[in-house]
Structure 1
Amino acid sequence: MSITGNRRAAPASDGTSGVARRLVAASALMLFLELALIRWLGANVVHLSYFSNFILLGSFLGVGAGFLISRKPWSVWPLTLPLLALLVLGVLTFPVTIERSGSDIIYFTSLKLHGPPAWLVLPILFALTATILAGPAELVGRCFARLDPLTAYRYDIMGSLVGIAVFTLLSVAHAPSLAWGIIAAGTALVLTQPGNRLVAGVAAATIVLVLGVETFTPGTSWSPYYKVTTEEQPNHGPGFLQINVNGVPHQLMAPARWKLDHGERIYQSPYLRLPGNPMNDVLIVGAGSGSDVAIALSQGAAHVDAVDIDPRILAIGAERNIDRPYADPKVVRHTNDGRAFLESTDKRYDLILFALPDSLTLVSGASQIRLESFLFTQEAMASVRRHLKPGGAFAMYNYYREPWLINRLAGTAAAAFSHAPCVDTFGDAQAVISVAVDPARQRCAGRWRPHDATVVAPATDDRPFLYFRGDAFPPFYAVTLIAILLTSLVAVRLLGGPLGQMRPYADLFFLGAAFLLLETKNVATFALLFGTTWLVNALVFAGVLLVVLAAIETTRRVRTPRLPVVFAGIAASLALAWVIRPEWLLPLPYAPRLIAATVLAFLPIFLANVAFAKRFRDAGDSQAALAINLLGTIVGGCLEYASLFTGYNNLLLITGGLYLLAVLLAPKGAWRAA
């Protein structure tokens, strides 16, 4: 069947409201499932949270495939709940680990690896995610066939907003996976035809039962970032609690005295290397369950600002830390991103500590930014220096895994403070890097000498990839991305027919790729300007959807300029965003910074979606047109990895190139008609 030959049905009149309600519900389920799978799989397949963008790309493929399937006489929707039940049951019954090793990119890993290799696990999860998402996408596509394209598209975006709003509210409430399962399975059951509800009901009950067992397992809770599990350590004595996140050991909550006397020596070193510090005002980033705060208090801190991005881990520390550091009136807790806290305060400190602030997840499924990425850039270190008193000092410690990373961080500190720091290493790449504003106030055991002749340059706000050495593109990423692109190409060919028949919508493909790349760049920008918190991330995605909806309504209700004028506006807005660097906005007060960032980020998105809406309005086959556009987002998701070398700002140049391809490939008639 030709894509261009399958014309949409005439718009309904009296039945439009019922179709619209079904479309909104299916679209909400589609986005909710996508977000839930990214979070839940990342929490239960160890180390998958480092590769959640692969699950996102699988979702894009599934959604695009679902739209193509909606033009077929057969359906994939009846498989959605059974496959989801199989996935949930399989993941929790047969736990696996995505093995990560090597020195090209550093991962904070589990100590025990089990299950099949990554090259087998990732394709299975990718395929299952795509097939599951294809079901609700098919329902949305069948609704598209019964409505005017722009009317259907607006209801699709409304449903997506509902999906992201519900998931955000669950994150606010720290809701467990059982709540996600009840909402997803319940909505799917409502959308299932009565004749198919027996099998769907059994699958839904299985999902709820299995997630119920997970939810009520003792010591299990959820934060907006992680699945958190706690284990008492009775062999060590009272006050010892192992905190794991996403299946990986994350923190050992232990009495401060034990950590100083018998624990790892990294906790002692900052105070030994920076003697005489008055410690009237101390900032601890990565305060977590409170052990580092308790140690600072035991060393004489008069006031401590304790900052951690994860509210659940902070709560565990407040509830269960035997030293009760968060009950001390000298301590103030701040649930925030460390870099965002630094940029939002004028306070100056005697001592700033980065206390093991390592994450086990990406900011979102659409970027390579980890929660702490912007905390270790050269601009962040300069901000630390500005927030220190004349006699102040800074220290950071962790198990850094690789000598080159220790050298890189030491070099970053040396550049910010204009003299070499103290560097103490213990065992297998544990290290403490300590530096005072006045070099006479630091007492180093010896002069810092890099392990390698070449010290990797500091990470920057534009390239915040601290753990990427930068020698070459990681082979694992290259192989996986090529496999994803080939799989997507085969899926489009099988479901959509000969590729040549899709030529009329080639411009929509590149519009989709450019849109995803632009969205990813905006996630990075807002993470830098306002913090890498889950709330900022959710607001960015919701903001993008609202801007898309505004573009649709503008196109429906107002006579917009012709396509050449709109694309000229896109080019101008991209150029403006490229020239005005995000770091230039950081010194601005919050309100003007938000306004400037919103205009720079969302103006090209608005104009691009006006262009898309104008093209989509006249599409002969709305299902195929949107499918091709969504499949283009897979290419955009793969191109995001170019930021490892280009930086995020130069992604705008690639985005501009994609929009240029869309202009060159747009049918001539579309330019005249629009």
Structure 2
Amino acid sequence: MSATDQRMRPDQRPEYRTHADARVVWRLILGSSVMLLIELALIRWLGANILHLSYFTNFVLLGSFLGIGLGFLIARRSWSLLPASAGLLSLLVLATYLFPVSIDRTGSEIIYFTAADPSGPPAWLVLPVVFCAVAIVLAGPAEVVGRCFAELAPLTAYRWDLVGSLLGIATFTLLSFLRAPSICWGLIAAAALVILVRPGQRIATGLAGTGMVLVLLAETLTPGVTWSPYYKVVTDNLFQNQEGTFLRISVNGVPHQQMGPAQWKLTKAEEQYRTPYARAAYQSLDDVLIVGAGSGSDVAIALSKGAQHVDAVDIDPRIVEIGAEFNSDRPYQDPRVTRHINDGRAFLHTSDKRYDLILFALPDSLALVNGASQIRLESFLFTQEALESARAHLKPTGVFSMYNYYREEWLIDRLAGTAEAAFGHPPCVDRTGGNQAVVTIARDPANQRCQTPPSVPSAAVVAPASDDRPFLYYRGGALPQMYLWTLGGILAISLIAVRALGGPLRSMRPYADLFFMGAAFLLLETKNIATFALLFGTTWLVNALVFGGVLVIVLAAVETTRRVRTPPLPVVWAAILASLAVAYVVDPQWLLAMSFWPRLITATLLAFTPIYLANIAFAKRFAATDHAQAAFGVNLLGAIVGGCLEYGALLTGYRNLLIVVALLYALAFVLTPRRGGVLIST
């Protein structure tokens, strides 16, 4: 940068020009918004229609990053993939719908809850195929964004790209709030792709998108199919007799709940439903909390046992609605029942009520928190800290119980050990057949009556899950081979694709710092998603607010860089490392002790200060690039590496990811190009 440029105000420098062709800006906004909408929709829809993919939707996210990066590289060439995008999206939807496939998830390294036949290709084969398919589909809309970047000053383009991304997230969040069927996002995506192509290509593009629209329309009109913010929900009326209505509820293709009358479940169904009440020596049930209330069967059982008031908590509003509409016991219409649509751990944070009985009633999920490869909707519900919180919400004579079909003996032993660590004495453990188990423990050991002496585990008990390592279903040890093979394949595919479209990798050497910035940023975002899920719940709304908040902070960093003379890069990098150090030192447990607003303000400052500073550094560096398309594409490809590194949280925990983030940012600083010994973006 010349001395003359240094004396200019930021908005006077060429790289910060604010005047832009309005048509290019609107095209950029539309391209960015539809790109984000398709990405989020595919994460939801593919996870709902490829059996067991909902446990691996992070690979759809990684495929999106590759596709966006490739789109920016294609934008530098004379040919275009955009006219084929609608057809490619239709082909992906048609193939998924007409030729359903399931991912085989046998094995015990990590437990995946499923009542469906675990047959089909292995995950290491299916996931790279899904990864490639998503990348090809997203490359077309990303190409639009990349071509707009070439016509605008770097920071002007980045600014409107962020605005479009926020619009895409807002649109998808609104669809989630309305629980809109899949046809809604399909129509929006098809219409946007028609608008983005040249006028002479619009009829062909519209016809190519018809296949997708028809498939999604057929899915929407299928009896019993509805959508919650988390799942594709399918209800089947099994049968109806004098005892009541029996309904099966499947989510994402997996049988999830069977709703039947309370009396039938107590007398003819699994023993687990009556065991918690048999283990409580003190029988008062003035106040009961049921986490995982679902369609209401456990609530009806508690009422039949004499509960005077039940707080019924479930994260999924649609499943609760099904229970309110179809459960023949009518538990949700009972004035003794209060419904709460919330994450169970978040409910415990916000309530100071004490209970005679707290039940974790089969609260297993079939979905990940978006943006986090190993956090499921219930992950923070089974940590040692969570059970300590449950203990604090019990009356002196209160009892806590959890039951499920746990799949593996080591998981039963682990949960029993977690209860013992949280309560200070051994629980009652009833194995009711086929790895079904009930773990019951009283606040005072005198108030629990175990039928048999505590069982002796056949092997070493896995240590309790913690809030920093909330991986209940991960047995420990090395990373599962399935992850290593799959991630290795994805990285190899990415390298080959980038080499084919971008030319020799050495040509991207000037942007190596941006590559590591991309990896660090995604890893930092993932860590913040995990922290906010712990502090405020794993609900879809919290997740959407975190994603939106990150984009707002990035946009604020861009506007700061455009309008204010920011400190030199070495100062910014030092501030980044200092903010990461503060975030590392502050234990999230300290924040959990705060009331809501102080907790929100503190968590926001800790999470978003490093993001804000890092994007000041990125904006300064990006503004000084000669080729915005290549620079932004390389940054996105770095995000793929960050997404792969996130699986390392299984070994390190989420807190230690901040060390990895700091090392990546330090490496980016070292690799920032210099002229005459001075950083080019200083």
TM-score by length of 1: 0.97
Q: CA deviation at 1:452?
A: 2.4
Paired residue for 1:72, among 77, 81, 99?
Answer: 77
In structure 1, the partner of 2:133 is: 128
One-letter amino acid of the counterpart of residue 128, structure 2: P
Paired residue for 1:551, among 551, 557, 573?
Answer: 557
In structure 2, the partner of 1:398 is: 404
1:60 aligns with 2:87: no
1:656 aligns with 2:662: yes
Corresponding residue SS for 1:468: coil
> Which whole-Å CA distance do the structure 2 matches of 1:282 and 1:41 have between them?
38
8 A contact 2:73–2:633 mirrored in 1 = yes
In structure 2, the partner of 1:426 is: 432
Paired residue for 1:39, among 9, 30, 44?
Answer: 44
> Which whole-Å CA distance do the structure 2 matches of 1:276 and 1:559 have between them?
68
1:241 aligns with 2:247: yes
In structure 2, the partner of 1:671 is: 679
Corresponding residue SS for 1:169: helix
In structure 1, the partner of 2:304 is: 298
Corresponding residue SS for 2:57: helix
Paired residue for 1:489, among 485, 495, 500?
Answer: 495
In structure 2, the partner of 1:213 is: 218
Q: Which moved more, 1:209-218 or 1:111-120?
A: 111-120
Corresponding residue SS for 1:166: helix
Q: Which moved more, 1:288-297 or 1:443-452?
A: 443-452
In structure 1, the partner of 2:207 is: 202
In structure 2, the partner of 1:178 is: 183
1:338 aligns with 2:328: no
1:270-285 aligned within 5 A: 270-285=276-291
One-letter amino acid of the counterpart of residue 662, structure 1: A
Please give the root-mean-square deviation of Cα atoms over the aligned residues, in Å: 1.4
Q: Which moved more, 1:51-60 or 1:439-448?
A: 439-448
1:136-535 aligned within 5 A: 136-234=141-239, 238-535=244-541
> Which whole-Å CA distance do the structure 2 matches of 1:114 and 1:392 have between them?
43
1:643 aligns with 2:649: yes
> Which whole-Å CA distance do the structure 2 matches of 1:295 and 1:189 have between them?
54
Q: CA deviation at 1:499?
A: 1.2
1:622-633 aligned within 5 A: 622-633=628-639
Q: What number of residue pairs does the alignment pair up?
A: 666
> Which whole-Å CA distance do the structure 2 matches of 1:144 and 1:168 have between them?
26
> Which whole-Å CA distance do the structure 2 matches of 1:617 and 1:308 have between them?
47
TM-score by length of 2: 0.96
1:107 aligns with 2:112: yes
1:25-62 CA distances to partner (integer Å, 9 max, x unpaired)? 00001111100000000001010010000110000000
> Which whole-Å CA distance do the structure 2 matches of 1:69 and 1:243 have between them?
44
Q: Which moved more, 1:656-665 or 1:362-371?
A: 362-371
8 A contact 1:46–1:110 mirrored in 2 = no
- The percentage of aligned residue pairs carrying the same residue is 65
Q: CA deviation at 1:12?
A: 9.9
Q: CA deviation at 1:116?
A: 3.9
Q: CA deviation at 1:208?
A: 1.2
Q: CA deviation at 1:275?
A: 3.5
> Which whole-Å CA distance do the structure 2 matches of 1:434 and 1:105 have between them?
24
1:219-273 CA distances to partner (integer Å, 9 max, x unpaired)? 0000000000000112776410000000001000000000000001100100111
Q: CA deviation at 1:114?
A: 4.9
Q: Which runs of 5+ in 1 are unaligned?
A: 1-8
Q: CA deviation at 1:673?
A: 4.3
> Which whole-Å CA distance do the structure 1 matches of 2:16 and 2:116 have between them?
58
In structure 2, the partner of 1:89 is: 94
One-letter amino acid of the counterpart of residue 163, structure 1: G
> Which whole-Å CA distance do the structure 1 matches of 2:134 and 2:551 have between them?
22
Q: Which moved more, 1:178-187 or 1:439-448?
A: 439-448
Corresponding residue SS for 1:233: strand
One-letter amino acid of the counterpart of residue 19, structure 1: V
8 A contact 1:55–1:365 mirrored in 2 = no
Corresponding residue SS for 2:239: coil
Structure 1 residue ranges, 4+ long, deviating more than 6 angstroms after superposition: 9-15
Paired residue for 2:596, among 579, 590, 594?
Answer: 590
Q: CA deviation at 1:202?
A: 1.3
Q: CA deviation at 1:192?
A: 1.4
Corresponding residue SS for 2:400: strand
In structure 2, the partner of 1:3 is: none
1:595-643 CA distances to partner (integer Å, 9 max, x unpaired)? 0000000000000000000000010100000000000000000000111
> Which whole-Å CA distance do the structure 1 matches of 2:574 and 2:241 have between them?
67
One-letter amino acid of the counterpart of residue 407, structure 1: D
1:430-481 CA distances to partner (integer Å, 9 max, x unpaired)? 0000011121211111122243231100000000000000022100001001
1:17 aligns with 2:22: yes
8 A contact 2:621–2:681 mirrored in 1 = no
Q: CA deviation at 1:543?
A: 0.2
1:577 aligns with 2:583: yes
> Which whole-Å CA distance do the structure 1 matches of 2:335 and 2:648 have between them?
48
In structure 2, the partner of 1:4 is: none
1:121-177 CA distances to partner (integer Å, 9 max, x unpaired)? 222211110000000100000000000000000000000000000000000000010
Corresponding residue SS for 2:434: coil
One-letter amino acid of the counterpart of residue 629, structure 1: N
One-letter amino acid of the counterpart of residue 189, structure 2: A
> Which whole-Å CA distance do the structure 2 matches of 1:497 and 1:303 have between them?
67
> Which whole-Å CA distance do the structure 1 matches of 2:454 and 2:137 have between them?
53
> Which whole-Å CA distance do the structure 2 matches of 1:630 and 1:471 have between them?
31
> Which whole-Å CA distance do the structure 2 matches of 1:499 and 1:260 have between them?
65
One-letter amino acid of the counterpart of residue 134, structure 2: T
Q: CA deviation at 1:490?
A: 1.2
8 A contact 2:69–2:142 mirrored in 1 = yes
Distance verdict in 2 for CA 1:673–1:390, change over 3 Å: closer
